[in-house]
Structure 1
Amino acid sequence: MNLFWGVARHQTWLIASDLVFFPLQICGFLTRHSRPRTSPLHLFNAVVRSHSRRSFPIFNVARSIRHIRLSSARHVSAPRVTRYALIMMWQSCLSLGLLTLFSSASAERLLRSNSLDSCQKDSSFSASLFNVVYTPDNNTIFAQLSAMSTVNDYVIAEIVLDVYGYQAVHQNFDPCTLEDMKATICPLTVGKLPPRFNFRVGDSVSKQIPGIAYAFPDLDAKVRVHIRSTRTDETLACVEAKFSNDKTVDLVGVKWATAAVTLVGLITSALMSGVGYTNAAAHLGASTLSLFAYFQAQAMVGLSGVPLPPAAHAWTQNFVWSLGLIRIGFMQTIFTWYQRSTGGDAAGLLDNALGASVQVMKRSLDPAAGGLQKRSNVMLDTGAYVVYGIQRVGYKAHIETTNIVMTSIVFSAFLVLISALFVYLARLILNFCVKRGWVKDTRFPELRGGGWRMLLKGITLRMLLAVFPAIAIFCFWEFTQADSAAIVVLCVFLLFGSMLVLGVAAVRIITIGRNSKAVHRSAAFQLFSNQEYLQIWGFLYVPFRATAYYYILPLLVHTVVKAAIIAFGQHNGVAQAICLIIVEAVALAAASLLRPWMAKSINVLNIAICSVNFVNAIFLFLLTNKFDAPGLLVGVVGILIFLVNAIFSLILLLLVIISSIMAFWRKNPDDRYRAMDDDRVMFWKSRTSMVPSMVATQELEALAATARGAKDSQEGSHRIESPPLTPTIGARPGSRRVDSPALNERSSSVHDSVRDDQHAAPRAPWKRSNRDSGMTE
């Protein structure tokens, strides 16, 4: 066991160090071979290569220095080092995930229960604290409870064990037959039971429990005990306990791995866009954002008010980070203080868990249960607490139920602010590298030029769109909770402000697209030829076809409606599940019929995601057990939710990982993707190729102006006519004619300079200029 945790800590350190080094490694990719071989970035790549040797200890200083010296002599290729380090980072993530998945194999075998439910009205036995552990290796049961009995009689217990809805054990048990229990519950007396006791059971009990019950994660086992009088055979009480084996699929490694893949995918997309590979950047960015949206959809399954089996709930708990539910101790203290100082009452559920049982709802909540409250936690007459839906997710994440909203919106705002800060710091670092000659001045022209403010606005709005589902869900839910007046006001401004910003941006994009289509017969002309539109609002329409620029508005409506269903349907799981089925069915039908995304692969990816979301909604309805289906069906559905989403998540993660690696592996990442079928390619040039093209155009215009000044007398005598070089709007690439007056006026000056250049200096037939070929190198 110690060896496992040592290896796990090592892999965790590898991932952390890789995430720190990765942005700096990219400098080697950006600079290519344009810097001296002994530059600081080249030496740093040598350190990275030494770091990638993966020896114990992780960072051998002597070996690093040795590789620095050898790298200067051997001329190590920077892109090769970057690719190698990127692959090693993925290896670290996968290794930690596999180690965490198999960590439970060496743990001690046990069965544990932390709560006791009453399954009978006016039960004569109740418990507010119930902790029981059964250890099969020594056949002992340890119990810690705070229970009250109103029975004064000799009793017999009828025990029923259900495993995933299947009745595995059904037998009677007489406590007076055990020597250890005669003094405590034989007979059962009125009053409190002893707070602690342990006793041994026979070997026959352990033989009846299969070995897989101790190894399969998130065991769905339930023990129901009917307490009957031995004199009258009357059922005096009924209690029910859920058992687990301390094995779970709610793993820290899965959370870090999924977050790391998403982060690196977004960073890789931004880098590809910056160096000019716009086609690869658009595909990778769309795939990564679709993956992130799917993670959020899985977390929403856990937020629903439908009772979830342990495996389904534990798996969805891995993705609550995508909705901003990340626990940091000191921040929870600040949130509690803020709530109390603004007139609210903190729940204190985590503190009360030491003296009272907390029941995670896995079945329908009885509306007649005593102590039901409109807000905060549900407290039963027995003194136990019941958490469900959003509260269930917060409790499992060790977040107070009254701090859930503040935790989510603060981390969402932090993500938006940190993205803006990252852009500003990247601009400073890039300008410094350009001044030192480490990076070409043609790299990231928008970030270094005066348009960096537009780029900053675009990235900020993009991050706002990414966190908008979390803002919508928890702000809607806060309206039903009213943790404090200040938090409600904060949610009002944040929710409606975000909706206003994104809604206005979507409407403006639709207006621009319609005007462009009316004037230029193509919506892509103004949307993709205007750099200001691309940088600020491009994220709203670039992932879609040029003719489906409007699709962002239906997506925003879908997000708001789904968030309202999740937030306002917490108390009615059946209605919530039915509404989710309708919403997901509409989303699947729209994606399948319209196919609005920019490429076939992106359409297939998003249609598959919509299909899985629709299947999850059906599973949620089955879990409500509205039609009294067999218990085995409910247990199987819980396993299916885990298996279907786990397999699909793995496939999506591998797709993003492979796409990120291939983006650095290929010399031209754009060659991996087909040209987009719409006419955006005629107006959307590579940013890298635009800079030398603009310089060459300015030089040609200067030469043409000089030539025209010297040849004014001969201007009308002879002129070489050149065919139009700008393509027809709406035609396929390769067409030469244009019907747009605006585009003809823009290209007139270029035509004049080309004609004068051809007249002044004839070119060899085998030498074609970049402008003649329609491409730049």
Structure 2
Amino acid sequence: MFFPVARLRFAAGAVLALLPVASAHIDSLFASSVSYCAPPESLLVQQFDIAYYPHNNSVVFNVTAASVQSNVNVSANLYLNVYGMQPVNLTIDLCTLLNSALCPLPLYDFQGADTLPLPQSVDISTRLPGIAYKIPDLEAFAQLTLFDVDTNQQKACIQVTLANGWSTRQPGVSWATGGLALLTLTSAAWQSFTPDALAPFRLLDLLGLYQIIAASALLNLNYPVIYRSFALNFSWALGLFDQSLTSSIQTSIDHMRNITGGHVSSPTTGGATALVNRKTSPYNLFSTSRGAVNALAPQFLSRNSTIQHLAARDVKVVTPTSNNILGEGLPVYAETMNIATGNAFMTAFFSALILLAIAVAVLAIVYGAIWLGSRWPSRHQARFVSVLESQPTVMRSWLFRVALVCFFPLIVLAFYQWTLDDSWLAVLISVITFLVVTGVVAYGVVRVLLYTRRSSPDFLNMDLPSFVAFYGQYRVPRQYAFLIPISAAFLRALFIAFAKGSETAQIALMLAVETFSLIALCVLRPGKTRRADVLAIYLAVVRFVCTGLLIAFLQRIAVTPIPRVAIGIITAVIWSVTVIIMFFNTLWNLGLRTLWRRRSEWRNMRLGSTTSASRSSQSFPEPLREKGGSTTSFDVLGRRNPTPSRQAPLDPSINKPYPTVTPTTTAAEPTSASTATSYGEQIESKWQSPSRPQSVYSSSMYTGTPQSSALGVTPPSANGCTLHPPIAEDRAI
């Protein structure tokens, strides 16, 4: 047993904890893809399904093959590579198996399916640790080589990648992340009409996070299978969905490319794994010294008609020097979903068209419903009319959000399409798409940056809110900060597509982009709230850290498989935790914040009422008489109050009452009015008076000349200003 694999147990357990609960699983290793590791000479394979069960040390197989040479006695060498190590490397004499049915090889099609208990001499279970049956996306392959017993010449070489049934690529994860996006979309749409709401911008942050995770597997790096499988869960954010081999969309794209100069091959029935570079994962820097005849002369393919028929069986000949090996990054990524490399852009293009059509249809339905509400007589009609006036602005802002969501996927795949030298029609469509999407985003950028130079404020008030998707989440002095994510997305697309020739330059440029973004956000802190700045900086830190961890996947560094897989698991866990945090952020914006605020207010109210009740029921001590006849009082908390309770004598001159003034009649008062007033007499109404009395707010109020009031009373004067009391009519009103 090789103990270094045990290091993966903790990391594998962390990943398995994130996966959905599965049904009972029987430990096994089975073939996931098959290919020739040398041009076939005497053995042709049509089907090679084989599985090993350690609990009874048996092999279950379903093999369809044919021998094209007579009287060939062969021995088989079985070689197993697990994470770059070689636990199994043994030779088996086929004449001792199946009652010598394979000695010599029969000259006819062999089709057999059976369960074969292995002899005690072939003990594979003790050579493999238990973690090999549990870790997701096992990186292992088996190679079966047939040698002529008499001449020791290689007659056949078959390479089979192995799997154990566990993987970080789960349909449930894709559905869960898509459901979170729909929940965030619901929150954003609900709060579109709320001023300063951040939910619409969190939708862009969430989808941007998904796109970054998916695009992190598009670099020209030696990714561990476990990380590439994890990133494939987010491929839908790039507009790339799993396709079947008979997909009508892929068939139409293939036909279009074939008639317009396309030459990139379509995906094979065996998937992308069979065509992965033999120097990279899952083959883990496999030495080519074992395949001494891998470079067997290709003249067999031209002179043997039987081998000409091999293409129909779709089993590829893949050697370390083959020209059909898939490159790292987008080719392997897309082919794993049964999307040919040349079809990647057109697939995302159709996905973007579908998204745009859905967005326009939903906006049209909402506008129609609001318009009907504004025309239908009801108690909410005024509200519908108010919403209808702002609806065009809201619709334009959502169309800009759709453009921002499609911006990165379309330009990165358009750039990659230009590097393929493929169908001229696909290239033309990619150029037009690039100009349209970039033009829409650039138009919004320019309008926001130059809006302060407009001379008409009314025009700004009507037009600028349409571009709120760009600047709305930032403070006014920092509204230009929206250039950071847009510029970073454009640079990432450039480096992924055009720097793929140098993996070192590619990862260095990507790391520089994330470093600049992080520093800019830390310095500017452009968010409207502190929580918004914390979230933006946290996302930038995650992108920086995860991009830095990708350095371990550089082929020239040649990190051994086990540490490389562990780093891939750590990176996947960091991304997963970030997605979970965004989920709680969505719940917070959806209503959890309101519930929390109301709960705090309720607690404060309850605490306040309890405190008031305790204060009212509290008995205060009687004043204690101290020496000298003074008393000591206590405050509301029962503490000693040093202030004496005796009142100091006041200056009589200060407390003089107003002088007694004898009221006199005025010209404005009727002759029948009494010269004395009392609260028991009825005061004549002003509506019966021929002229309205002078207001107390007249200019004479602030003059130094004493004036008579409506009641004929001359009020006392203070500092040379006459103060007028309210007139009698005001008391009666």
Interval of TM-score (by shorter of Structure 1 and Structure 2): 0.5 to 0.7
Is 1:478 paired with 2:417?
A: yes
The Cα of 1:483 is off from its aligned counterpart by 3.9
- What is the CA–CA distance in structure 1 between the aligned matches of 2:143 and 2:489, rounded to whole Å? 41
- What is the CA–CA distance in structure 2 between the aligned matches of 1:287 and 1:670, rounded to whole Å? 25
Q: Determine the structure 2 residue equivalent to 1:321.
A: 236
Q: Determine the structure 1 residue equivalent to 2:469.
A: 539
Is 1:557 paired with 2:487?
A: yes
Mapping of residues 600-611 of structure 1, within 5 Å:
600-611=530-541
Q: 1:295 to 1:443 in 2, by over 3 A?
A: farther
What is the RMSD computed on CA atoms of the aligned residues?
4.6
The Cα of 1:511 is off from its aligned counterpart by 1.9
Is 1:220 paired with 2:139?
A: yes
Q: Could you tell me which of 268, 273, 286 is aligned with 2:187?
A: 268
Give CA-to-partner distance per residue, 1:2-23, whole Å, 9 cap, x none: xxxxxxxxxxxxxxxxxxxxxx
Mapping of residues 196-595 of structure 1, within 5 Å:
199-202=116-119, 204-223=123-142, 241-274=160-193, 276=194, 278-279=195-196, 281-282=197-198, 284-327=199-242, 329-344=247-262, 347-350=265-268, 352-353=269-270, 358-361=274-277, 363-364=279-280, 386-387=325-326, 388-435=328-375, 440-441=380-381, 443=383, 447-449=387-389, 451-513=390-452, 515=453, 530-595=460-525
The Cα of 1:116 is off from its aligned counterpart by 4.7
The Cα of 1:168 is off from its aligned counterpart by 6.7
The Cα of 1:230 is off from its aligned counterpart by 7.7
TM-score by length of structure 1 reads 0.61
Q: Determine the structure 1 residue equivalent to 2:79.
A: 159
Q: 1:100 to 1:440 in 2, by over 3 A?
A: farther
Give CA-to-partner distance per residue, 1:257-277, whole Å, 9 cap, x none: 211211221221221232x3x
Q: Which amino acid aligns with 1:358?
A: A
Q: Is the 8 A contact 2:226 2:565 kept in 1?
A: no
Q: Determine the structure 2 residue equivalent to 1:115.
A: 33
Q: Which amino acid aligns with 2:174?
A: K
Q: Is the 8 A contact 1:433 1:439 kept in 2?
A: no
- What is the CA–CA distance in structure 2 between the aligned matches of 1:146 and 1:719, rounded to whole Å? 119
Q: Is the 8 A contact 1:458 1:539 kept in 2?
A: yes
Q: 1:358 to 1:499 in 2, by over 3 A?
A: same
Give CA-to-partner distance per residue, 1:75-108, whole Å, 9 cap, x none: xxxxxxxxxxxxxxxxxxxxxx999934533245
Give CA-to-partner distance per residue, 1:658-707, whole Å, 9 cap, x none: 432426757989999xxxxxxxxxxxxxxxxxxxxxxxxxxxxxxxxxxx
The Cα of 1:526 is off from its aligned counterpart by 6.9
- What is the CA–CA distance in structure 1 between the aligned matches of 2:369 and 2:66, rounded to whole Å? 64
Is 1:615 paired with 2:565?
A: no
The Cα of 1:631 is off from its aligned counterpart by 2.8
Q: Which amino acid aligns with 2:161?
A: K
- What is the CA–CA distance in structure 1 between the aligned matches of 2:378 and 2:438, rounded to whole Å? 43
- What is the CA–CA distance in structure 2 between the aligned matches of 1:323 and 1:429, rounded to whole Å? 32
Give CA-to-partner distance per residue, 1:594-642, whole Å, 9 cap, x none: 3233322222222222222223323322112422333322222222232
Q: Determine the structure 2 residue equivalent to 1:655.
A: 585
Q: Which amino acid aligns with 1:267?
A: T
Q: Which amino acid aligns with 2:341?
A: T
Give CA-to-partner distance per residue, 1:167-195, whole Å, 9 cap, x none: 372442323475138543x5789x99957
- What is the CA–CA distance in structure 2 between the aligned matches of 1:634 and 1:476, rounded to whole Å? 29
Q: Determine the structure 2 residue equivalent to 1:20.
A: none
Q: Is the 8 A contact 1:266 1:285 kept in 2?
A: yes
- What is the CA–CA distance in structure 1 between the aligned matches of 2:436 and 2:280, rounded to whole Å? 36
Q: Is the 8 A contact 1:143 1:196 kept in 2?
A: yes
The Cα of 1:255 is off from its aligned counterpart by 1.3
> Structure 1 residues 237-246 or 482-491, which shifts more?
237-246
Q: Is the 8 A contact 1:155 1:187 kept in 2?
A: no
Q: 1:170 to 1:495 in 2, by over 3 A?
A: same
Q: Which amino acid aligns with 2:410?
A: I
Q: 1:432 to 1:572 in 2, by over 3 A?
A: same
Gaps of 5+ in 2: 1-14, 289-293, 299-313, 603-694, 702-729
TM-score by length of structure 2 reads 0.65
Residue correspondences, number: 556
The Cα of 1:492 is off from its aligned counterpart by 0.6
Q: Which has the larger radius of gyration?
A: 2
- What is the CA–CA distance in structure 2 between the aligned matches of 1:434 and 1:422, rounded to whole Å? 18
The Cα of 1:391 is off from its aligned counterpart by 2.5
SS, match of residue 459 in structure 1: helix
Give CA-to-partner distance per residue, 1:495-514, whole Å, 9 cap, x none: 0222222123212211224x
Give CA-to-partner distance per residue, 1:28-87, whole Å, 9 cap, x none: xxxxxxxxxxxxxxxxxxxxxxxxxxxxxxxxxxxxxxxxxxxxxxxxxxxxxxxxxxxx
- What is the CA–CA distance in structure 2 between the aligned matches of 1:540 and 1:615, rounded to whole Å? 26
> Structure 1 residues 462-471 or 356-365, which shifts more?
356-365
The Cα of 1:473 is off from its aligned counterpart by 0.8
SS, match of residue 275 in structure 2: strand
Q: Determine the structure 2 residue equivalent to 1:636.
A: 566
Mapping of residues 68-79 of structure 1, within 5 Å:
none
The Cα of 1:654 is off from its aligned counterpart by 2.7
Q: Which amino acid aligns with 2:188?
A: S
> Structure 1 residues 632-641 or 227-236, which shifts more?
227-236
- What is the CA–CA distance in structure 2 between the aligned matches of 1:626 and 1:563, rounded to whole Å? 23
Q: Could you tell me which of 19, 23, 44 is aligned with 1:101?
A: 19
SS, match of residue 450 in structure 2: helix
More helix by share: 1
Q: 1:321 to 1:201 in 2, by over 3 A?
A: same
SS, match of residue 499 in structure 1: helix
- What is the CA–CA distance in structure 1 between the aligned matches of 2:373 and 2:540, rounded to whole Å? 44
- What is the CA–CA distance in structure 1 between the aligned matches of 2:481 and 2:318, rounded to whole Å? 51
- What is the CA–CA distance in structure 1 between the aligned matches of 2:169 and 2:224, rounded to whole Å? 13
Give CA-to-partner distance per residue, 1:194-235, whole Å, 9 cap, x none: 576654324732354344433433222344667788889999
Give CA-to-partner distance per residue, 1:413-470, whole Å, 9 cap, x none: 3223322221221121133345556783465766512x43333222111110111001
> Structure 1 residues 610-619 or 538-547, which shifts more?
610-619
Q: Determine the structure 1 residue equivalent to 2:97.
A: 179
Q: 1:584 to 1:111 in 2, by over 3 A?
A: same
Percent identical among aligned pairs is: 20
Q: Determine the structure 1 residue equivalent to 2:51.
A: 134
The Cα of 1:360 is off from its aligned counterpart by 4.0
Q: Is the 8 A contact 1:115 1:359 kept in 2?
A: no
- What is the CA–CA distance in structure 2 between the aligned matches of 1:98 and 1:197, rounded to whole Å? 33
- What is the CA–CA distance in structure 2 between the aligned matches of 1:129 and 1:610, rounded to whole Å? 50
SS, match of residue 418 in structure 2: helix
Q: 1:196 to 1:579 in 2, by over 3 A?
A: farther
> Structure 1 residues 579-588 or 435-444, which shifts more?
435-444
Q: Is the 8 A contact 1:335 1:403 kept in 2?
A: yes
The Cα of 1:346 is off from its aligned counterpart by 7.3
Q: Is the 8 A contact 1:128 1:384 kept in 2?
A: no
